[in-house]
Structure 1
Amino acid sequence: MKTIFTSMAIFGSLLSAFGQEIPKDSLEGEKISLDEVLVSAVRVTKQTPVTFSNLSKEQIKPRNLGQDIPVLMNFLPSVVTTSDAGAGVGYTGIRVRGSDATRVNVTINGIPYNDSESHGSFWVNMPDFASSTESLQLQRGVGTSTNGSGAFGASLNILTDAVAEEGYGQISSSVGSFNTLKNNLKFSTGLLNDQVEISGRLSRITSDGYVDRASSALNSYFLQGSFQDNNTLIKALLFGGHEITYQSWNGIDAATLEDDRTYNSAGEYTDENGNTQYYENEVDNYKQNHFQLHWNEKIGSAWNTNLAVHFTRGRGYFEQFKEDDDFATYGLTPITVDGEEVDKTDLIRRRWLSNRFYGTTFSANYIADNLNLILGGGYNKYEGDHFGEIIWAKYAANSNYGDRYYDNSSIKTDFNFFTKANYQLTDQWSLFGDLQYRTVGYTASSEEIGSVDDTFNFFNPKAGVTFDLNRNNNLYFSYARANREPNRNDYESDSPTPEKLNDYELGWRYISYALQLNANLYYMQYKDQLVLTGDIDDVGSFKRANVANSYRAGLELDAKIKLSDKFSVAPNATLSTNKIKDFILDRDGEVKNIGNTNISFSPSIVAGNIFAYAPSENLSFSLLSKYVGEQYLSNTDDRASKLDDYFINDINLVYELEIDGFFKSIVFSGLVNNILDIKYVSNGYTYLDTWSGPNSFEVQGYYPQAGINFLLGASVNF
């Protein structure tokens, strides 16, 4: 450990001379804007011993042509993304350090966004939300205490549009491969009487998808009203979306991957003449609306407080055509037709989810002398209704319109309180402490999970130290403890156990005019980690199971290098090992200790780079590269369940035409994805009936991604 610190210090001292003459490019924090206080309780700066990356509106804008937020984050360190439809529109997923989206805590203006039961974040419910994002911060590892479920791979906090001092209007459109079309309208009144601003956005995105019939029809809105003076900021927000996506979660087998990469079996059935047909409405149809009210008050010179209330309403279903389905599945009794007993029928069903999520979050921040103290927390409640309906059947049996073949409800409460502080001990040393208490209550019932009535109490301490070697270099070390409850699907197995994580982070940061460099070593030690088994359920969600002891350890490197006034490069790389210790496989009563194995969906190498060239202020080119190493779909190191590595490259072009008149400018954007037309697979699933050694697994589904494809856009600003 001492050798590592010494080496970093010597290298940092040599580099510091490179940026010493530029005073503004140092580790000193920047002034926090009035809008940023909304997320100050959950965000960190370079003076905090936490590993993180920031992404600003200016960095998002060039590639914001219709793809989801996970895809726009694809070039951050340790991030791997995937898309069910294959082109980044519709259902998309993200993994950080090998941890899937159910383990990435997401907040919007400090309000929890993860679904309370599944723990997932469904970006398809908020299409084009990137167009209303001011900035986002991805904290890798446990990070600091925040609202919502515990972070077991990362936490992502999003800040929505800041108050605009001057009014503006913007009309944007983009078109691209697979009949992708995006249109949006944004506006702001600017500050009226230097105090009030109203802004908003309307968006619509449609796409056929790369995969057959994997279409998307996505509508969204964002409306914000703000009041501010010297000491007060009040924001009221309404935003939401309505998504209709054709189901594409079935994947394809290896033979089909070779012969027909875009094949989609969803909705497939055989008509009375023996012809293959596809049900036209095999869709996911869901609406989600959010309300947030934030009140920030500055009290004196040292205190500011933030109080927020929120309400989210979600409702929708996915519709399926089922061929020759059993009456018994729906609680129906056989009927007699033309003298013969009938106990199967073709039918169309809808499986509904209707939910409400509401609560409050609060924080108080004290900054004076050498102390930055934050007290915060929140109380949130979730109420969910799960039910199924048959909307058509060839043989209707003894049923009535509106009958439900299952009808379940669930309630989840979540209270947490945290206090965290940064204390500047000397000019070079600062100490960080963070204590959180969280209590969760969950009641639910269904045929799959039985009856659940659980309460969890978690204590999550965190501590760290930062050492400023000089004005350009600092070193940090932190320890964080996290606990996390099972999600709804975990209860389908016998008595899932809450997860526990000890996260150790050791890092070095260097900042100068021409170079920013971050290096980080991490060791994440898990107890009873809920790892993905590789199998999925009948709605495309991955199943999980507890493993007793496991860990993730790695080295993360990322940099921003200014080669000249016109050229810059931003590489990053993660080298990791992700292991289960003495993996116990239990299938059909047969128990095997397979030994130490790799954790599923955890590539040991993930790397990216952005090479940018700006020949003028109005014109820029970027080459974006991403490499993802091979990864296993199971936890047994089975060669048959391995996904190949892949290396893809995109080109991004932006040109701004300035206009002296009513229109201020027109910005043209172009994005060519996968320019080398690589045929790659970013996700898949598998399962195992009985273990009989290597190659016992059979991969059931691959999710192929699109070859070369493009998006072209134009934004008119006035």
Structure 2
Amino acid sequence: MKTMKNWLLTGLLFMVVSTVFSQGKVTGTITDASGATLPGANVAVKGSPTGTSTDFDGKFTIDAKTSTGELVITYLGYDSKTLKFSVSNGGTTNLGEIVLSANSNELSEIVVKSTLVDIAKDRKTPVAVSTIRAAEIQQKLGTQEFPEILRNTPSVYVTKSGGGFGDSRINIRGFTQNNIAVMINGMPVNDMENGSVYWSNWAGLSDVTSAMQVQRGLGASKLSTPSVGGTINIVTKSSDLKEGGSVSSGFGNGRYFKIQGSYNTGKLDNGLSASVLLSQTMGDGYINGTDFEGSNYYIALGYASKNDKHNFQLTVTGAPQWHNQRSTVSTIATYQKYGSVQDPNTRYNPDAGYLNGEAYNIRKNYYHKPVASFNWDYKINETTKLSSVLYASMGRGAGASAAGGIRGKSYSDLVAFRTADGLIDYDKIVAYNSGQPVLINGFTGLQTRAKVGGVYQNTFSSGSNAPAGASTGTSGISQTSSINSHDWFGAVVNLNKKLTETLTLDFGLDARTYTGYHFTVVNDLLGGGEFYDVSQASSLPGGNHITSAYPTDVQWNVFDKKNYDKISFNSTGKVKWYGAFTQLEYSKDNLTAFVQGAVSQQGFKREDTFVYLPTNPLTSTPYKNITGGNVKGGANYNINEKNNVYVNAGYYSKQPFFNSVYPNNKSTINPNLTNEKITGFEAGYGFRSRFFNATVNVYNTNWDDRYLKGNALPTSPTIPANTTYTEFVGLNEVHSGFELEANSNITEKLRVNAMFSYGIWEYKGNATVNAYYQADNTPVPGFQGTTIYMDKVKVGDAAQMTASLGASYEVLTRVTVDANYNFNDKLYAGINPTNFTSQNNKGALELPSYGLVDAGFSYKMLVGQNKDKSVNFRLNVNNLLNEVYIAESRTNTFADDFVSGTSGPTYASSGQVYRGVATNNQVFFGFGRTWNFSLRYDF
């Protein structure tokens, strides 16, 4: 009997232990009502500490310690869902697709391990913010540029500029992207010399982004970054995603083609993980002569310790590419000439032509900018976290253009080398360069070229524009490239300490070093024998005779520092950045408040071996150190579960860019050097409910002491032309406005979203323009500072009123159609302040308003034995109605101005207007109708 009792007790104990310690896995995919996957959704076993989050494709795997239980799935902006599960010991249960009902368009609770990534949280972080999910980027971007996905967020204006691959630009609240901070996983990517972001170098980001968040205004970033207009935070997927991958391909008009493949190992038992993505994109481009080819690689390796105290991520990504460009801006009249008066040829490219029977464009961009980063997140204890990132970037590449001229004519002359359809006859240029007699439009008879020193010598000179009957010249045209390569290394470290239940303190350091290499090389002599250059001071008076030419090929090996023969200029810019930042956050019940401060010192050094002789101390300057920083604060109060209000304010002392410290590519320091001052204030209100969500905010930003350099004003006949330049002192701007963002899931199948923004972006007060010599940056003697009447002039280059209305409808299960209308108004031309020397100026030219309709179709088919894999179809049509519109203008000529500045008829009275705009304005039209189709298999 005793033995039987022991067996019974042992068996009962075994059953209890087996129940307690039985293990299985539960898997599934989280989507919204439209079938779009939700990355970062939280999945937890009810009543236990076990939890996980969905990966880039909305998939999850969670370990269940019991054979039955409930999963609780939460995702901010969506209604939570509880599901029962059962799993056999050692088995796997797939719950398939789990659909969450939306109640917000925010993605505030993105799961981010690192405290370096300043993601704003809904109803907590007091800033104006919009977030785009990976699924939306994956579906709707198509052939558009990466920043165009933000087009339907308030106060954002995006144009494709010339239309080349990656040549788009973005404005937020009227500020250019030089004054918008772009962060990738907490790492700053704005060029350290000029703040620029070249989207062609980041074309692959759309493939690896988990979420993209635009914070308008000073934003929530703890770093002292150039976030005058806002911050674009990009969070890429990490290596520890669930095992699986995808294969996709896409095609569209303009022979667009893209193929992509990715695979994730998932987190292995030993804590290691890896993720790889490769893609290739190519096409002819929508604009004539803008063909392109780009690659993208993304490799992530990770390790997480068993106790979850340490997490390491090593990421290497790059997007080597080349693309032909449309850099020359045509007048409206030129577009009409090669189209018609009513139907301008908006695809016309004045840089495109043919050479040896093949399409050729002398304007080309080629670049490779790989970025490597190493992230370490250390959970010291339950209240203390240390996050750090080390990163490096070595950019190699250039923009190709033309140097020199023929008979006083540049390659892009409107007449000289044009065919009947407006293309450039590059064969004619090569023939002339090589000494053959040719007919040049606008000249009488055959034109021939004379040798210099026994060779056909190309230079920077365009030659004299002699009378039409003259037949001999010595100048020629070459293709040259301005190299802008760099080596960039940096580190950011942040200590996050929870002081009490309500107070959290962050403290961190930010260090960067940047070396920019700037010089010019010859790519193609186009039939000439040599290039003669006298730019290098130490080579005078003999000059350099160069016969070597370098192809415009992408440099994959960025460690190879090629030894080029250089012409025109050769300088090195060095920037050192040291910064510290801190933030104290209070959070209790319904109130969240923070105060944040950052200080940085930037050092600028210039080295130049061309302009200055080796004995000149200006060959290598000492570092010019400038201190700047910011202080910000704000608070959010949740009135109840539906209503919240917030307010923030900040001050930013922003250091000038490199070319402000050393103007005109000379090594003498700007005597008027000063920091730009930005003061911002913002207030907002949010409403959240099951069926409707809205956010309203107002803002005011003052930007004082803005630096701007321009061409010289007329001084006196004794000063040679093109020897001076101007700087503007006291140039100030005020940007204020109203923003609304709303969405509603009217039914489970129908969802509507809307946006409206209205800005008043104007210059404040008048400015003064001063003149300086280009040779040494010294003031022009006797020049009296001229008043520039800028007060109340509208800031150009971005629509000050934007609105959009969109909807998506699930016609059948996982079959969705969507459409969106985007409207832009109060769009003003870019201005040159030298046009405002008269108090009676007309201000900035307002361009016609326009609206665009985009539409799409999606179908997701679940496949596989457990329906845990999918095949996704997507069709996008952008500018569905083929609207013709002016996206930007470089000039400010009004319809009632006199033609050619004479007292004759105006542009309007002489019929030289297009939709009310004078046809001699230099503009870029936007793209017409484009389409693309993609097919993706997720496994």
TM-score range for the pair, normalised by the shorter chain length: 0.7 to 0.9
Equivalent in the alignment of 2:370:
289
2:873 to 668, 679, 694: 668
Q: In structure 2, what residue type is equivalent to 1:202?
A: L
Q: In structure 1, what residue type is equivalent to 2:580?
A: F
Deviation at 1:311, TM superposition (A): 0.4
Equivalent in the alignment of 1:378:
510
Distance 2:658 2:253 in 1: 37
Q: Is the 8 A contact 2:141 2:148 kept in 1?
A: no
2:848 to 644, 652, 655: 644
Is 1:76 aligned to 2:153, yes or no? yes
Q: Is the 8 A contact 2:157 2:799 kept in 1?
A: no
Equivalent in the alignment of 1:335:
452
Is 1:250 aligned to 2:337, yes or no? no
Equivalent in the alignment of 1:508:
685
Equivalent in the alignment of 2:252:
176
Q: Is the 8 A contact 1:184 1:204 kept in 2?
A: yes
Q: 1:563–1:481: structure 2 CA closer, same or farther, 3 Å change rule?
A: same
Deviation at 1:318, TM superposition (A): 2.1
Distance 2:898 2:708 in 1: 21
Equivalent in the alignment of 1:220:
296
Deviation at 1:20, TM superposition (A): 14
Query: CA offsets, 1:672-717, max 9 Å, x none?
Result: 00011100122231279xxx99998996531112211101110012
Q: In structure 1, what residue type is equivalent to 2:852?
A: I
Q: 1:422–1:238: structure 2 CA closer, same or farther, 3 Å change rule?
A: same
Deviation at 1:517, TM superposition (A): 1.0
Q: In structure 1, what residue type is equivalent to 2:225?
A: S
1:523 to 700, 710, 731: 700
Q: 1:531–1:437: structure 2 CA closer, same or farther, 3 Å change rule?
A: same
1:482 to 648, 652, 669: 652
Query: CA offsets, 1:508-543, max 9 Å, x none?
Result: 1122221221110101012113479899xxxxxxx9
Question: What's the RMSD between the two structures over aligned residues?
Answer: 3.6
Query: CA offsets, 1:113-163, max 9 Å, x none?
Result: 111112111121122311101112211001134446321100111111034
Deviation at 1:671, TM superposition (A): 0.3
Equivalent in the alignment of 1:16:
none
Q: Is the 8 A contact 2:280 2:295 kept in 1?
A: yes
Distance 2:603 2:407 in 1: 36
Q: Is the 8 A contact 1:119 1:149 kept in 2?
A: no
Q: 1:26–1:281: structure 2 CA closer, same or farther, 3 Å change rule?
A: closer
Equivalent in the alignment of 1:432:
594
Query: CA offsets, 1:183-235, max 9 Å, x none?
Result: 11111111211622111111111121221101221111100011124222110
Q: 1:429–1:189: structure 2 CA closer, same or farther, 3 Å change rule?
A: closer
**Larger displacement relative to structure 2 (414-423 or 668-677):** 414-423
2:317 to 236, 239, 245: 239
**Larger displacement relative to structure 2 (360-369 or 130-139):** 360-369
Is 1:153 aligned to 2:238, yes or no? no
Q: 1:547–1:31: structure 2 CA closer, same or farther, 3 Å change rule?
A: closer
Equivalent in the alignment of 2:56:
none
Q: In structure 1, what residue type is equivalent to 2:517?
A: D
Equivalent in the alignment of 1:403:
565
Q: Is the 8 A contact 1:85 1:209 kept in 2?
A: no
SS in 1 for 2:334: helix
Is 1:612 aligned to 2:811, yes or no? no
Distance 2:301 2:78 in 1: 43
1:300 to 366, 378, 381: 381
Distance 1:315 1:339 in 2: 31
Equivalent in the alignment of 1:413:
576
Q: Is the 8 A contact 2:298 2:317 kept in 1?
A: yes
Distance 2:111 2:197 in 1: 28
**Larger displacement relative to structure 2 (627-636 or 554-563):** 627-636
Distance 1:679 1:512 in 2: 39
Equivalent in the alignment of 2:888:
683
Is 1:709 aligned to 2:930, yes or no? yes
Q: 1:118–1:165: structure 2 CA closer, same or farther, 3 Å change rule?
A: closer
Deviation at 1:381, TM superposition (A): 0.6
Equivalent in the alignment of 1:362:
493
SS in 1 for 2:793: strand
Q: Is the 8 A contact 1:534 1:634 kept in 2?
A: no
Equivalent in the alignment of 2:721:
none
SS in 2 for 1:386: strand
Higher gyration radius (CA): 2
Distance 1:339 1:85 in 2: 34
Distance 2:855 2:750 in 1: 15
Deviation at 1:594, TM superposition (A): 4.8
Q: In structure 2, what residue type is equivalent to 1:660?
A: G
Equivalent in the alignment of 2:791:
595
Equivalent in the alignment of 1:263:
348
Deviation at 1:337, TM superposition (A): 4.9
Deviation at 1:304, TM superposition (A): 1.2
Q: 1:20–1:431: structure 2 CA closer, same or farther, 3 Å change rule?
A: closer
Distance 1:20 1:462 in 2: 27
Distance 2:859 2:865 in 1: 18
Distance 1:489 1:250 in 2: 23
**Larger displacement relative to structure 2 (609-618 or 154-163):** 609-618
Is 1:135 aligned to 2:340, yes or no? no
Q: In structure 2, what residue type is equivalent to 1:177?
A: N
Q: Is the 8 A contact 1:143 1:480 kept in 2?
A: no
Q: Is the 8 A contact 1:462 1:480 kept in 2?
A: yes
Distance 1:717 1:667 in 2: 8
Query: CA offsets, 1:539-565, max 9 Å, x none?
Result: xxxx99665332101011001211111
Of structures 1 and 2, the one with the larger relative CO (CA 8 A, separation 6+) is 1
**Larger displacement relative to structure 2 (623-632 or 657-666):** 657-666
SS in 2 for 1:80: strand
TM-score (norm 1): 0.86
Q: In structure 2, what residue type is equivalent to 1:646?
A: Y
Which structure 2 segments of 5+ residues have no match? 1-75, 82-101, 340-344, 411-450, 458-471, 533-543, 549-563, 613-617, 665-669, 713-725, 772-782, 902-917
Higher strand share: 1
Q: 1:164–1:67: structure 2 CA closer, same or farther, 3 Å change rule?
A: farther
Q: 1:482–1:534: structure 2 CA closer, same or farther, 3 Å change rule?
A: farther
Q: Is the 8 A contact 2:628 2:655 kept in 1?
A: no
Deviation at 1:640, TM superposition (A): 7.5
SS in 2 for 1:630: strand
Q: Is the 8 A contact 2:727 2:770 kept in 1?
A: no
Q: 1:92–1:178: structure 2 CA closer, same or farther, 3 Å change rule?
A: same
Distance 2:169 2:651 in 1: 26
TM-score (norm 2): 0.67
Which structure 1 segments of 5+ residues have no match? 1-18, 536-542
Q: 1:309–1:629: structure 2 CA closer, same or farther, 3 Å change rule?
A: same
SS in 2 for 1:60: helix
Deviation at 1:54, TM superposition (A): 1.5
**Larger displacement relative to structure 2 (294-303 or 525-534):** 525-534
Same amino acid, percent of matched pairs: 20
Q: Is the 8 A contact 1:638 1:695 kept in 2?
A: no
Deviation at 1:585, TM superposition (A): 6.9
Deviation at 1:648, TM superposition (A): 0.3
SS in 1 for 2:387: strand
